[in-house]
Chains A and B, each alone.
Chain A
Amino acid sequence: MDLRQLDIASLRRNVGLVFQESFLFSTTIGANIAFGHPFATQEQIERAARVAAAHQFITELPEGYETVLGEGGLGLSGGQRQRLAIARAVLLEPAILLLDDPTAAVDPGTEQEIAAAMVSAMKNRTTFLVAGRLSMLRHCSRIVALEGGRISQTGTLAELLAQPGYLRELARAQGMRGLQEGAA
């Protein structure tokens, strides 16, 4: 079915979205996770949080799921915010997951935290992952490299690293020369 013919609301209900930098509302953590489905049960909320590897840090907060976020409320780290955003997307049980480079704005350590959440969220879902860094690409079945609005390469990570082109350049720029050669 052509995208233009789809009802936008029903399309969006089936797509879980996570952005580069997630906007969280100045309300409770529970309400943020349940944003797409405000009347979700506590059980559903916790299940989503577990998938996003967020349940543990939430329960360690003094007020748990009732903790209020935002200005004057609690400040979360980048990794924690992104995991809440992933939980928010997962709660909808979407068939398609769209991850727009969720680790773009975090340090490598935090990247690991988020990556774990992403991998478990991607299970059994068609996932589109936008990535500027190489770290997440090994979890992808297929990589599409875009340059100037055109597809320049497609294939698995190993295939793409083995051939000259954009991906290999990227690997080198990110200081992975040795590993890239090893992979090749």
Chain B
Amino acid sequence: MKAKNPRHAAPTLDPRLALTRLRQTEDADEISGQKFRLATLRRLFRYTGPYARRRNILIGLTILRAIQLPSLVWALSAVISGPIQTGDWAGTLKGTLGFVALAVFTASTFVFRVRLALELGESVVFDLRNELFRHLQTLTMRFYDTTKFGRVISRMTSDIESLRTGVQDIAFVSLVQAGQMLVTAVMLAWIDWVLFLLILATVPVLWGINRYFRDRLINAQRHAQESFSRVTATLAESVGGIRVTQSFVRQEVNSGFFRDLVRDHSRYTMDSARTTAVFLPLLELNSQIFTSIVLVVGGYRVLMPGSTVPPGDVIQFFLLANLFFDPIRVLGQQYTNAVNAVVGAERVFHLLDTRPDWTDEADAEALERVEGRVEFRDLCFGYDPERLVLRDICFTAEPGQMIALVGHTGSGKTSVINLLGKGYLPTSGELLIDGQEIRRIASPSLHRNLAVVQQQNFLFETTVMENIRFGRLEATDREVIAAVEALDFLDLIEALPGGFSTPVGEGGTALSVGQRQLICFARAFVANPRLIILDEATSAIDSITEQRIQRALEALLEGRTSFVIAHRLSTIRQADQILVLDHGRIIERGTHAGLIAAGGSYARLHEQFMAAAGGTV
């Protein structure tokens, strides 16, 4: 039957057609199963510590509310079974007045109960977000090498949101509901303990139904979520790769695959909808059946010969009984929320507990007045210590010298500069700056004396002025302009539509590659560092801009110790020392002229380059 239903037919997702990995297992690896861990909940509640007063008032209000709600119904039913039944008009009015007073009191405390809970949730979320961001900034490059962007984003957004529910609702709502159930139970037993035992027997049945459907719902929702993440990931890839898709005529194939993905997702959504569709009516029917039972038994107890039970008691019983049953449903819902909150909290805590793979040593000292002498001593390094990417690196850069790093992709050039910036620590051997070992240098003092110009010319989405100032936040506008003047491209900035206040980046004016590079140079210049690391951009730039960049580069490197991954012959030629790297080793070193004369690997590289660039045959 089910197989015939097209909405139920499981589409087979062909991995050959996928634009992304189909199994999103990363998060599952992180958190094993959706278990309810009390320790996590406890840790979460520790975050309410700074707001203890507010939290304690809230707990008080919660308990109060658990008493108020049944009391309201009690008061109502007491008026019905008391003065109304006995025909006492004055008593009825008095009773009603009491009821209204109680209702006003209940409502006014409810205002605070809601407000305080939301405030408490927001305060915890506020603290956690700040802590998380601060923590993210302390993590080393190794973390960012291996962590998906989106995962960090979802910790900060959806996971923190589900945790918020945990803080502001679950405990307090559950407390109200459980308290209400308890208080009501006492009242019910007081009124008619026989009827009370009868309804007590139905509690396990209701709870069972609840659990069964909740579990199914959770399951369906999790699948829906997972399948939806496939949909969004595929959509992102499709948009990013649209040019490839169109030129390889894969529109039809991709649309077909996307349809299967969406169908897969709908299936789980439908499943969850269908479960809900059965669940709610079943709950309703259940309470009607229970009502009928109480009606029959209660009626019999009133009507049976020699009965002392007044009909008012049955009415009172009915009114209160709802207060006894409602919490079962609500508590079930809260249980689901609690599971989600715990999972969210665990993910957030997992990230918070991720320690940087190294930190500055306790006795690390700040670098004072840097000369700029850099020495690599028998240095070996591997991102994975088992697989070294640099071996026995030995060289010295005297203050003010320019070192050019040359070699094929994967030869280790980037690793050398990564180590210099203390993005990673050497696996063995030493790296000394002014004679001080890098492990024992306080990172902030190193970074203040070191500027890095990356190949990708990363700029923030703000103005040209602010981007340059990023090199040294306390630099004045005048200093920023002076930097641009020193690098001799003031005319280029002034020619921009908004001059220095022109926004860069996606929303702003698109700057050319050359302009972006010059801005990065100025950013480094403003920092006035003793050491400069430059990963020269490889993009082809028109020859005029090229010459200006060369000039700016010379001004930037002037008098500083610099390490350059050079892609331009003109840059390489200026180096005081060229290091030729191959498979993680320095195979040649010397000046341009010296290396050419030596006729080794560099000379061959140079020859190849020249031949490729200009030779005809």
Contacts and interface: CB of A to CB of B under 8 A. Distances in A.
Q: Do A and B come from one complex?
A: yes
Looking at B150, B406, B570, B610, the one whose CB has the most chain A CB atoms below 10 A away is B610
Interface string B591-609: 0000000000000010011
Contacts of B610: 176, 179
Given A108-B567, A113-B409, A25 B616 contact: no
A35 B248 CA distance: 7
Nearest to B610: A179
Nearest to B544: A173
A134 interface: yes
Contact of A25 (B237, B408, B570, B608): B237
Nearest to A174: B613
A109 interface: yes
B21 A133 contact: no
Contact of A175 (B150, B249, B570, B608): B570
Contacts, number: 137
Nearest to B14: A38
B146 A109 contact: no
B163 to A, nearest CB: 24
A13 B2 CA distance: 41
Contact of B250 (A36, A115, A138): A36
B147 to A, nearest CB: 7
Nearest to A69: B21
B409 A27 contact: no
Contacts of B20: 25-27, 70
B244 A35 contact: yes
A113 B409 CA distance: 9
Interface stretch (B188-196, B420-428, B535-543): B535-543
Interface residues of A, number: 60
Given A78-B409, A104-B540, A135-B613, A109 B237 contact: no
A180 interface: yes
B538 A105 contact: yes
A20 to B, nearest CB: 9
Contacts of A36: 248-250
B407 interface: yes
B613 A25 contact: no
B540 A169 contact: no
Given A23-B243, A132-B540, A176-B613, A107 B567 contact: yes
Nearest to B246: A12
Nearest to B539: A105
B208 interface: no
Given A107-B567, A179-B613, A19 B243 contact: yes
Interface in B229-253: 233, 237, 240-241, 243-244, 246-250, 253
Given A36-B250, A107-B567, A101 B15 contact: no
